[in-house]
């Protein structure tokens, strides 16, 4: 791993003081290459906090442009970037925050075909997309490529986060569960309305996105217990967190 420069040591001093992170953990962050799917409501806090934490390379994939209605929750963008590609807007925000972070951006929608060509270049994937097709494609591609995945979702006033490594053996001696063990199939088209149809409270994406960033930092630095086999649920109206455990489904004979 590359050594930290004096400027980086000063910048990340509060991390380095933590015994659970220290200099080695900060070097792991610097060496990490993380792909973030979506530079929207969830991707915005994920990108900001991972950039601030010193993740060395951030890949951003999104095919959308910034619109005025995004700014209530997609805090990595601003009024001056309306009409720009979200990837470019996010790249400039990250550069202002931390010049030590390298960004790679892709102005396209994530797909299995794209993942086949690019996913192996990354150490971790974070899915902040807003549609089921991308969520399932990201989960399937990450499992095939044997790359850890942190995935989150939000509704009007609620959200969820989990971490996935379905290619590894867990403490019980069996493979850890995958996304399809938790959600076997996507819901029928139109059953779950989008936030454009029902609305969403902006700060909710900050809560869930920040937790996703925290899970990524834990996985990269090998600190704490990630949400493997656990789904974290958040109810903003009651300010309540719950955790549901899930396991790999048994194959039918």
pLDDT band for 187, please (50, 70, 90 cuts).
confident
Rg (CA), the chain: 18
pTM (two decimals): 0.95
| Burial label, 230 (beta-carbon count in 10 A; 0-12, 13-18, 19+) | middle
pLDDT at residue 153 is higher than 90? yes
Question: 3-class DSSP state for residue 95?
Answer: helix
pLDDT mean over 96-114: 97
In the chain, how many H helices and how many E strands? 10, 8
Region class of 146: left (phi > 0), else alpha (psi between -120 and 50), else beta? left
Provide the pLDDT for residue 88. 97
pLDDT at residue 35 is higher than 70? yes
Whole-number Å distance between alpha carbons of 68 and 79: 7
pLDDT at residue 175 is higher than 50? yes
Provide the pLDDT for residue 250. 76
Structure tokens at 146: 């044997």
Distances, alpha carbon 219 to alpha carbons 14, 77, 231, in Å: 19, 27, 16
pLDDT mean over 219-239: 97
Percent of the chain at pLDDT above 90? 90
Query: For 13-27, 163-177, 183-197, which range has the lowest pLDDT when averaged over its residues?
Result: 183-197
Would you tell me how many other CB atoms lie within 10 Å of the CB of residue 10?
10
pLDDT band for 251, please (50, 70, 90 cuts).
low
pLDDT mean over 7-34: 98
Provide the pLDDT for residue 137. 96
Query: For 17-31, 63-77, 94-108, 239-253, which range has the lowest pLDDT when averaged over its residues?
Result: 239-253
pLDDT at residue 48 is higher than 90? yes
Across the chain, mean pLDDT equals 95
pLDDT at residue 67 is higher than 60? yes
How far, in whole angstroms, is CA 172 from its chain's centroid? 27
Q: Which residues of 170-204 are buried (b: 16+ CB within 10 A; e: fewer)?
A: eeeeeebbbbbbbbeeeeeeeeeeebeeeebbeeb
pLDDT band for 253, please (50, 70, 90 cuts).
very low
């Amino acid at each position: 791993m590359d050594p930290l420069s004096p400027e980086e040591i000063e910048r990340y001093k509060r991390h380095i003081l933590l015994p659970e992170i220290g200099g080695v953990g900060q070097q792991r962050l610097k060496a990490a290459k993380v792909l973030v799917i979506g530079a929207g409501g969830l991707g915005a806090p994920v990108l900001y906090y991972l950039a601030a934490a010193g993740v060395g390379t951030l890949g951003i994939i999104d095919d959308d442009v910034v619109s005025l209605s995004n700014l209530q929750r997609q805090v990595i963008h601003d009024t001056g970037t309306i009409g720009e590609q979200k990837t470019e807007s996010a790249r400039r925000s990250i550069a202002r925050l931390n010049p030590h972070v390298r960004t790679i951006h892709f102005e396209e929608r994530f797909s299995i075909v794209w993942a086949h060509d690019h996913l192996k270049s990354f150490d971790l994937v974070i899915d902040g997309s807003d549609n089921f097709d991308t969520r399932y494609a990201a989960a399937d591609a990450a499992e095939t490529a044997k790359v850890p995945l942190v995935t989150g979702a939000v509704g009007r006033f609620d959200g969820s986060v989990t971490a996935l490594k379905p290619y590894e053996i867990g403490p019980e001696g069996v493979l850890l569960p995958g996304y399809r063990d938790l959600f076997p199939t996507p819901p029928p088209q139109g059953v779950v309305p989008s936030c454009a149809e029902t609305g969403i409270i902006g700060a909710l994406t900050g809560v869930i996105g920040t937790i996703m960033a925290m899970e990524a930092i834990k996985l990269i630095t090998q600190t704490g217990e990630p949400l493997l086999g656990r789904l974290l649920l958040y109810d903003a109206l009651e300010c309540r967190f719950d955790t549901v455990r899930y396991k790999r489904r048994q194959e039918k004979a």
